[in-house]
């Protein structure tokens, strides 16, 4: 995982130290030495995360963070305050200004990297949602991102210590609606039922690993995007590092400060509701206009709008981008033998197998007829070829059902794979090269993958 990190510190030696640590882990690093400079860099739109010193002349870190979070163009960028301030009041002040987290000087390598990687994962999701929403707006299908009034946010606390849960309940009763579950598996089921905006998990279980519960929350489709916070002891450093690495959003340590707990929960809810609104805007604004009604995939119209943006982002970030075109072999004979209803059955099942073998951040479109296009950000040609071969095997190894499930027929696919070549490719050129690779696969006897080196 890589990202572009902005390090903001008025002391050049401090900035240089953080820069060297991040460069060693292959992050891209930009440095700024004042609050005004940091705002200018963020306004360019090429920052994934900000490490922000609090104590700076002219404009301190709190004010920089406040301005970033008030600007719609930069409010989605995660901000981590880097400070020597230890007072809880200072942390609360930073969280209320919109900070996503804190790092205390001197910053340890593991603490630095786990925080940066955790927030980078969240930023990647937000970027994709923002990009798709921008496309909806440009296409004239935008309903806006107005937020509705809501009742007190519902929080689920999973804690087997009745005294601990009662204490947390008193802290939250004025601002949140709290439900408590003492059994971890019962808590998992309740979270999956929906209705909650955040889950608090304590680490005090004597006979159960709380990280297993957190991993299960991240694995389930219905809870994958639900914010999860740990309530941990100060000595649980190793547990917290592992938790952040696989997707826990935040934590507080005992003894829990009520103001900090409330402020951190509000930060998580603000981010969740922002992303919820983005998803709602995408799905409600132009689902019908850019969705193939038969397969449920995006259609050619969406591809024509979205692919140039993916290419532009790939060029700006100097990251790879690969494209595959998959074609169902001898599809006309399927239609001839089983009618258009049978052909539709095959197209729907083909789309389902595509989804099962492609990442969530990849773009899958029905290109037309029996051709499908997959755009894969941050994927080089070799990795894309492996994905294409996995798809080919998934198609060929199991027959497709037609005629209402009464009959099963063999189906194969031919796939062409290409990757972006420097700044030479626009969307049309990339599609043309992929189509030529597909043509080679057809000429090679079908049921194969062709991924030319250039």
Phi and psi at 78, nearest 5°, equal -65, 135
CA–CA dist 323, 334 (Å, integer): 27
Task: Give the total residue count for the chain.
Answer: 454
Note whether 52 and 98 are within 8 A (CB): no
CA distance 9 to 445: 60
- Catalytic residue IDs: 370
Closest CA to 452 of 415, 427, 425, 402: 415
Q: Which structure tokens are listed for 270?
A: 């603000």
| Cα distance between residue 172 and residue 304, in whole Å | 48
- Environment class of residue 360 by beta-carbon count within 10 Å: exposed (0-12), middle (13-18) or buried (19+)? exposed
**Residues 6+ positions from 193 with CB-CB distance below 8 Å:** none
Q: Give the number of other Cβ atoms within 10 Å of residue 211's Cβ.
A: 17
Q: Which two tokens stand for residue 153?
A: 């946010």
Quote the Cα angle for 313-425-446, to 5°: 110
In this structure, are residues 250 and 267 in contact, taking their beta carbons and an 8 Å threshold? yes
Tally Cβ neighbours within 10 Å of residue 89.
Answer: 11
Residue identified by tokens 């304590």 is 202
Listed residue (197, 199, 175, 173) closest to 186, CA to CA: 199
């Amino acid at each position: 995982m890589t990202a572009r990190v902005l390090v903001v510190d008025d002391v050049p030696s401090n900035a240089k130290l953080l820069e060297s640590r991040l460069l060693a882990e292959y992050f891209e690093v930009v440095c700024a030495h004042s609050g005004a400079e940091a705002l200018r860099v963020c306004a360019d739109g090429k920052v994934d995360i900000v490490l922000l010193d609090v104590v700076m002349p002219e404009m301190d870190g709190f004010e920089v963070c406040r301005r970033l979070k008030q600007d719609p163009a930069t409010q989605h960028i995660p901000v981590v305050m880097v400070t020597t301030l230890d007072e809880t009041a200072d942390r609360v002040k930073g969280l209320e200004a919109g900070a996503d987290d804190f790092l205390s000087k001197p910053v340890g390598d593991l603490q630095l990297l786990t925080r940066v990687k955790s927030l980078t994962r969240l930023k990647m999701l937000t970027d994709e949602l923002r990009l798709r929403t921008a496309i909806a707006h440009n296409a004239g299908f935008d309903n806006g991102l107005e937020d509705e009034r809501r009742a007190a946010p519902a929080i689920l606390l999973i804690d087997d210590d009745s005294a601990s849960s009662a204490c947390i309940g008193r802290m939250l009763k004025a601002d949140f609606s709290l439900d408590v579950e003492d059994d971890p598996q019962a808590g998992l089921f309740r979270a999956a039922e929906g209705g909650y905006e955040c889950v608090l998990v304590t680490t005090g279980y004597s006979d159960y690993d709380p990280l297993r519960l957190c991993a299960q929350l991240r694995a389930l489709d219905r809870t994958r995007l639900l914010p999860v916070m740990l309530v941990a002891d100060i000595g649980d450093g190793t547990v917290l590092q592992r938790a952040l690495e696989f997707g826990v959003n935040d934590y507080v340590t005992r003894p829990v400060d009520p103001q900090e707990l409330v402020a951190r929960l509000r930060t998580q809810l603000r981010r969740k509701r922002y992303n919820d609104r983005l998803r709602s805007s995408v799905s409600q604004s132009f689902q019908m206009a850019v969705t193939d009604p038969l397969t449920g995939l995006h259609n050619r119209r969406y591809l024509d709008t979205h692919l140039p943006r993916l290419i532009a982002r790939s060029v700006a970030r100097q990251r790879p981008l690969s494209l595959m075109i998959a074609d169902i072999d001898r599809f006309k004979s399927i239609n001839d033998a089983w009618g258009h209803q049978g052909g539709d059955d095959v197209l729907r099942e083909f789309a389902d197998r595509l989804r099962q073998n492609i990442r969530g951040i990849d773009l899958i479109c029905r290109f037309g007829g029996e051709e499908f296009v997959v755009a894969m950000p941050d994927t080089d040609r070799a990795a894309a070829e492996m994905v294409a071969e996995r798809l080919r095997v998934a198609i060929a190894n199991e027959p497709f059902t037609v005629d209402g499930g009464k009959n099963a027929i063999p189906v194969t696919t031919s796939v062409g794979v290409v990757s972006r070549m420097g700044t030479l490719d626009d969307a049309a050129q990339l599609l043309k090269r992929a189509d030529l690779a597909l043509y080679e696969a057809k000429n090679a006897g079908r049921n194969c993958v062709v991924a030319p080196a250039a």
